């Protein structure tokens, strides 16, 4: 019985351009997260003029956004553990994008507050799952940098919101600002959907997901969450557990075709000397 620890393969392997691309995707999701968080604050002066309301009328609305983010962060973390970090991240991005778009249709403070709270759920849920994916995509020696890069993109999104508001508000109004703020995350989610793989460490503990990479029966993971493999003979190998393909030197332990990670090397493959690698 050959036991393969997915975490060790990723922690000790070498990073690749594909992994860098994945980190860039998660970072871009957080940039748009930070942008949509700050759009309302930039749009309030235009709302004051159009609705003829005092600034104090928006106090509660401004508080509902952070409240939704706090609740969404807790929910997003739980969902990431249950349905996968990739799925939870994409759902969060689509959620805050949809409710940001909905803000463009409101005509009063109550509906504005409701949509702001609902968008906050998605805004808060994106951060923990993006950080978790960033940490699990890269080797251990680069993990701190990857997570830090993802997190610091949030204030960068606030800067982008200010630049976008300066260009859109005077010419097109506040409704167009929220339309743009909703369409950009939707476009990003469409790009990430075929590109972004699920966390390999998460999949290693989910035997029901292994069927995406192979057909036929297989044994479940060991109690420690690692996958097991068994090889027979020098011909066709019979493996129990999730698949193991590629090489640890290939630098790319995932397949783009189904967004499911492989384990990095094949313990059933023999070297030129006949010894099992």
- Using one digit for the tens of pLDDT, what is the confidence trace for 175-184? 999 999 999 9
Does the residue 107 lie in any domain? yes
pLDDT tens figures, 259-273: 444 434 343 343 344
Does the residue 76 lie in any domain? yes
61 pLDDT exceeds 80? yes
pLDDT tens figures, 72-85: 999 999 999 889 99
Does the residue 54 lie in any domain? yes
- What is the token pair recorded at 12? 């000790």
Task: Kindly report the CATH number assigned to the domain that includes residue 62.
Answer: 1.20.1250.20
- What is the token pair recorded at 33? 């997260």
Q: The pTM is what?
A: 0.71
Does the residue 110 lie in any domain? yes
Does the residue 238 lie in any domain? no
Q: Count of domains in the chain?
A: 1
Q: How far apart are CA 5 and CA 115, in angstroms?
A: 44
Does the residue 28 lie in any domain? yes
Does the residue 20 lie in any domain? yes
- 199 or 27, which is more confident? 27
The domain containing residue 83 runs over which residues?
Answer: 15-195
Does the residue 45 lie in any domain? yes
The torsion angle over the Cα atoms of residues 116, 117, 121 and 127, rounded to 10 degrees, is 60
215 pLDDT exceeds 90? no
């Amino acid at each position: 019985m050959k036991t393969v620890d997915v975490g060790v393969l990723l922690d000790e392997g070498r990073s690749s351009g594909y992994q860098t691309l994945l980190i860039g995707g998660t970072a871009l999701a957080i940039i748009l997260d930070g942008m949509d968080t700050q759009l309302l604050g930039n749009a309030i002066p235009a709302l004051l003029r159009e609705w003829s309301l005092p600034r104090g009328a928006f106090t509660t609305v401004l508080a509902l956004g952070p409240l939704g983010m706090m609740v969404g962060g807790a929910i997003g973390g739980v969902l990431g553990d249950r349905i996968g970090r990739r799925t939870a991240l994409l759902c969060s991005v689509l959620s805050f994008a949809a409710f940001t778009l909905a803000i463009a249709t409101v005509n009063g403070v109550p509906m504005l507050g409701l949509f702001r709270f609902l968008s906050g759920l998605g805004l808060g849920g994106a951060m923990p799952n993006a950080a978790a994916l960033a940490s699990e995509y890269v080797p251990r020696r680069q993990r701190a940098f990857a997570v830090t890069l993802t997190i610091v993109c949030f204030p960068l999104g606030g800067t982008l919101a200010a630049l976008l508001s300066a260009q859109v508000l005077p010419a097109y109004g506040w409704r167009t600002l929220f339309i743009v703020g909703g369409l950009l995350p939707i476009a990003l989610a469409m790009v990430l959907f075929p590109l972004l793989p699920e966390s390999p460490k998460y999949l290693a503990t989910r035997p029901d997901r292994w069927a995406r990479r192979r057909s036929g029966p297989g044994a479940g993971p060991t109690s420690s969450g690692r996958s097991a493999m068994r090889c027979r003979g020098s011909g066709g190998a019979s493996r129990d557990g999730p698949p193991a393909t590629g090489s640890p030197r290939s630098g790319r332990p995932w397949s783009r075709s189904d967004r499911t990670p492989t384990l990095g090397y094949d313990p059933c493959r023999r070297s030129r000397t006949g010894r099992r690698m």
